[in-house]
Amino acid sequence: MSTHGIESMEAKRRRGEKSATSEGAVPLEVLDCAFCFDPLRPPVFQCRVGHVICSSCHHKLRKKDNCHVCAITGGYNRCIAFDHILESTKVSCSNSIYGCTVKTHYYHQEEHKKSCPHAPCFCPEPGCGFAGSTTQLQRHLTADHMLPATAFAYGYSFTLHMQEGMRVLHRKEEGGPLFLAKFTLVPPFGNAVSILCIDPHAVTENHRFECDVDFYSRTMGWHQHSNFQIISTNLSNGFPGEEASYTFVVPDISSDPHTTTTRLLIRPPKISCP
């Protein structure tokens, strides 16, 4: 199979994933570069037949005299009319089903998606198909699944009792990442603790939150401290297993979980966060 054939198959796959719709009746695939298959943005160049490429690809072409699609001679020229089409065509955000009303130029949609506040996170409860923003997910977990919730502020410690199950941790202000603390009994060793950051943009962002955790038993006078980076996920594949999340074990030193308290302090990444 030729390289061009492989690229055409890749283009079809990527086009099939696009869920945004244009304001007019123009099929969105005609707004893609014929060379790199990314969305075209002004300035656009076309051959004598009409095959269009973006300025970046035009700059990279070693041989500009022949069209790389049809091989016709004559090189490429600016296509002002296509520039006007791109400037006048806007598309709905692919997160419109989750409440986003923003419409952007086709070539700006990926930039918008990277910071869209309506990008979905998914419910980690087995069999539940809920998806929505972190604010919607928080309400869903606490109202529909009756999970306990604790409000906190970055940089300030707060207390949790070590009880089996999952707990929602959220900032006092709405929006931004959500956190889940999961306590799992693992006899005879004690309690396994996992803490996750639920972030719809976890796939595109590399920054991580930092967490300090202190465990203290009033009856035994026992203390344990841990510091780690919190793994981020949008929960599209459910709650990660131990191999994919930061999990540690707290020894079971009392039959009454209320005698053992957990103090957490969550720090945001050094870069600005929502």
Residue 19: the pLDDT is: 40
- The Cα 204–Cα 256 span in angstroms is 42
| Domain total in the chain | 3
Q: How far apart are the first and last CA of the chain?
A: 46
Q: What is the pTM of this model?
A: 0.65
* Residue 222 belongs to some domain of the structure: yes
* Residue 138 belongs to some domain of the structure: no
Residues 171 and 61 occupy one common structural domain: no
Q: Can you give the CATH number for the domain in which 219 is found?
A: 2.60.210
Residue 13: the pLDDT is: 42
* Residue 70 belongs to some domain of the structure: yes
* Residue 250 belongs to some domain of the structure: yes
- The Cα 115–Cα 104 span in angstroms is 13
Of 236, 76, 87, 264, nearest to 167 by C-alpha is 264
Residues 162 and 258 occupy one common structural domain: yes
For CA atoms 97, 100, 105, 108, the dihedral sign is: negative
Q: Which residues contact 175 (CB under 8 A, 6 or more apart)?
A: 117, 133, 134, 135, 274
Domain ranges, residue 109: 93-118
* Residue 9 belongs to some domain of the structure: no
Q: CA angle 271-273-274, nearest 5°?
A: 160
Residue 256: the pLDDT is: 53
Residues 155 and 259 occupy one common structural domain: yes
Residues 45 and 107 occupy one common structural domain: no
Residues 97 and 184 occupy one common structural domain: no
Of 4, 2, 31, nearest to 15 by C-alpha is 31
Tokens standing for 101? 């009303």
* Residue 136 belongs to some domain of the structure: no
Residues 194 and 163 occupy one common structural domain: yes
Note whether 52 and 70 are within 8 A (CB): no
Residue 236: the pLDDT is: 85
Tokens standing for 218? 């009033």
- The Cα 273–Cα 84 span in angstroms is 36
- The Cα 100–Cα 196 span in angstroms is 25
| Count of positions (residues) in the chain | 274
Residues 98 and 168 occupy one common structural domain: no
Residues 155 and 184 occupy one common structural domain: yes
Residues 254 and 193 occupy one common structural domain: yes
Residues 100 and 47 occupy one common structural domain: no
Chain CA centroid to CA 262, Å: 29
Residue 1: the pLDDT is: 38
Residues 161 and 254 occupy one common structural domain: yes
pLDDT of the chain along its 274 residues, tens only? 333 433 443 444 444 444 444 444 567 778 888 888 889 989 999 988 888 999 888 888 888 888 878 888 888 899 999 899 888 888 888 888 888 899 998 888 888 888 888 889 999 888 898 998 888 899 999 999 999 999 999 999 998 877 788 899 998 777 778 999 888 877 777 777 788 899 888 765 556 788 888 877 766 666 778 888 888 888 888 777 655 555 666 666 454 555 667 788 998 886 544 4
